[in-house]
Amino acid sequence: MKGGKSWITWIGDEPQPSLRENPDFLKAPTYTWSNGTNSTDEWKENISTAVKKIQDEKIEKVVLARDLNAVASARIDPRLILRNLAEQYPSTWCFSVDGLIGATPELLLRLTRGMVTSRVLAGTISKTGDDEKDLARSASLARSSKDLEEHVYAVRSVVESLSHFCSSTNVPDSPFVLHLANVMHLATDVTGAISESAHHVDTFAILAKLHPSAAVCGTPTQSANEIISELEGISRGRYAGPVGWIDARGDGELGIALRCGEISGKSIRLFAGCGIVAGSDPEKELAESQVKFAPMIHALSES
């Protein structure tokens, strides 16, 4: 949906499926849950190792992901999940692409008529559901040195990438707190004007420089990627990759595939990742990852 209008793009030689063909899709199956590649203890150990490497090797940030598996009592229909995500998380970008489904709060890039925007999220705190307590937690997040440090790295990586194409960029002095249904994030909207002297700057060209940013990999990128390869132990698949649309002019809108799962028949694999810096605590990072799993878990279970 954009500007109050909705549309469907259907690619293939089969007719678009109708909701009336399968009224049972509104009934959520039951799920049997199991650990992903790593147990919670193993993942916390990975966090501890990453913190030590950050301190020893003088890198700034690395993002470590974990997965969670579920098997359903019936074939999983993405339509029910997508409906639930759209209702419960209206301020996110909901997507369903060839089995990858989710509701991402993070805009990787939007390119429209020579203007580019990227929403950077880094720094997270859970919500309690109590407005007064959440207001205090929001203020705590905005003052958190650990979360502000993580956020600065992510913003800096985006600005450096956009500088290759933009004659000017606008970066707010401080982040705002983005309120979602279950969490709050430190957020910064970075905008830029594509230079008139730049040739053939389309969404693909910007994407090649922008992804992966520090929000999903770390910084410096190569060092962080090496630590991810050594410690993470999972195949991310399309998790944390770009998802969205690009038109014939090269303009487009791409989110980062977060708060998502990958469906295969009766099975689904969920993903969550946390930004690790020198001050990270394994127990708190585990709790943050559980909160990031919550949108998909709730969307799967509710009819």
Is residue 22 over pLDDT 90?
no
Q: State the amino acid at position 2 in one-letter form.
A: K
| Mean pLDDT, rounded, for 118-138 | 94
Residues marked active site are found at: 61, 106
Q: How do residues 189-244 score in pLDDT, each as one tens digit?
A: 999 999 988 778 999 999 999 999 888 999 999 999 999 999 999 999 999 999 99
Rounded to an integer, what distance in angstroms lies between the CA atom of residue 199 and that of residue 64? Answer: 36
- In the CATH scheme, what is the homologous superfamily, with its name and number, of domain 29-301? Anthranilate synthase (3.60.120.10)
pLDDT at 17: 62
CA distances from 15 to 18, 21, 55, 83 (A): 9, 12, 56, 21
Phi, psi of 40 (to 5 degrees): -65, -40
DSSP 106: -
Place 145 in a pLDDT band, splitting at 50, 70 and 90.
Answer: very high
* Average pLDDT across the chain, whole number: 92
pLDDT attached to residue 41: 96
The pLDDT of residue 21 is above 60: no
pLDDT value, residue 212? 93
Residue among 183, 46, 220 at smallest CA distance from 106: 183
Percent of the chain with pLDDT over 90: 83
Please give the pLDDT value at position 234. Answer: 92
Confidence of residue 172 (pLDDT cuts 50, 70, 90): very high
Indicate the pLDDT class of residue 154, thresholds 50, 70 and 90. Answer: very high
Please state the pTM of the whole predicted model: 0.87
